[in-house]
Amino acid sequence: MAGFGGGHVPSPWVPALTALAAEVPVVLAGRTGAGENLRSTYGFPGSETDLLARGLIPAGYLDAPKARVLLSLVLATGGDPLPRSTS
């Protein structure tokens, strides 16, 4: 999912994305072109914080096309697409 700016979507999209993320991995990327996506800046429905709490996977520094390729490779090899804490 290529969200606007640092990873936001219009609030009417939230129910569909929530339902989709419950069924398949959905990676949240931004459209800024460079830099890491936001993770905890805003809390409104459709913000990056809200979407990540609903189960979307953060793309980190990857833009949407790169995140899509990586997700496809992870799924094709049977890997786990969910990020894990190393601490």
What is the reported pLDDT for 61? 87
In our burial notation (b when 16+ CB lie closer than 10 A, e otherwise), range 10-43 reads eeeebeebbeebeeeebbbbbeeeeeebbeeeee
- Quote the pTM value: 0.82
pLDDT of amino acid 38? 66
The total of other beta-carbon atoms located within 10 Å of residue 56's CB is 23
> Tens digit of pLDDT for each residue in 35-63?
677 677 777 899 999 999 999 999 988 88
At residue 34, the pLDDT reads 66
Q: Is the predicted pLDDT of residue 11 greater than 90, yes or no?
A: yes
